[in-house]
Amino acid sequence: MGLIRITGSYKQTLRKDLELHWTEDKPVVWQAYNVGKKALAMRFEQNKAEEIQFVSVDKLFFGKQIPVEECMEDKFFEEIEMIDFEKDPESQRLYINNWVKN
């Protein structure tokens, strides 16, 4: 998901590390990610094995002062959470760390 917002040399490094040489198109990457995530969930659901559970959680935290493009909101409406880094950065840091931990 991080690939969607980045540009420049960091983008090229991330594309190389994630082995995304097969496309330059960000919407194609997003679609492949989404399809893969759903396919894994369906695969584990079909197995109905109690000892195997697939859990995937994603979250994009944005400061309330940062404008989020409409296309991002449309594609990641479940993943985006706006928080107030300016008002209380320490509590927001703890909130994110707790979210990751749980």
Q: What three-state secondary structure class fits 24?
A: coil
Q: Give pLDDT tens digits for 52-98.
A: 666 667 888 988 888 888 888 888 888 889 999 899 999 999 999 99
Q: Give pLDDT tens digits for 1-25.
A: 555 556 667 677 767 777 777 777 7
58 contacts: CB under 8 Å, gap ≥ 6 = 1, 79
Is the distance from CB of 61 to CB of 85 less than 8 angstroms? Answer: no
